[in-house]
Amino acid sequence: MADAATAERTTTLPRTPPQILGPFYPFMHTPTDSGDLTGGGKAKGTILYLSGRILAADGQPVAGAKVEIWQANAAGRYAHPNDDNVGAPIDEKFNGFAVTTTDGQGRYAFKTVRPAAYPAAPGRWRPAHIHFSVTAKYEQLVTQMYFKGGEYNETDSWLNSASRKDLLITDPKPADGKEPGAQAVTFDIVLTRG
């Protein structure tokens, strides 16, 4: 009979499903490396403290992984020349693109705003989400994080194409000890090898 330590080592975590890079990857912008996309809290919308760990399928933390995020602002607009959602304003205080590197325990953290849904085509909307690109030693994963109960989650073809969409949906909670109304969410990402 295997002991608990052996059983723990043989546990395999489900890999985070890949998602599309999307049409609004901010290739023309320099990502902020401070972890704060809110311009020091000046951006409009609900502050969101986003953190998590990058793990290999065997549960080991992936240290030194590059984690990029990009997203729409609180009005559902990307600071991208191809975003024709002109009914939503651009927030000059919001930097919708950031990068960080995981620490020795595989942890990352960002301070951002909760994004809004936006029209993707006539009669079709994308639910609120945040894009991730994780580049580690052996692999790169592009995925998206969604919000529990998000409007349009059930009709979004990208979210619903995921083999395990439950692994992409988070449930924000009040961010205790932070700005009034701020939320916090944890989003762990599992790679195959790291």
Residues designated as active site:
78, 118, 126, 129, 131
Distance CA 173, CA 48 (A): 9
Which has the closest alpha carbon to 106: 53, 147, 68, 159? Answer: 53
Q: What token pair was written down for 45?
A: 């919308």
Distance CA 194, CA 190 (A): 8
Residue 8 contacts by C-beta under 8 Å, 6 or more apart in sequence?
Answer: 59
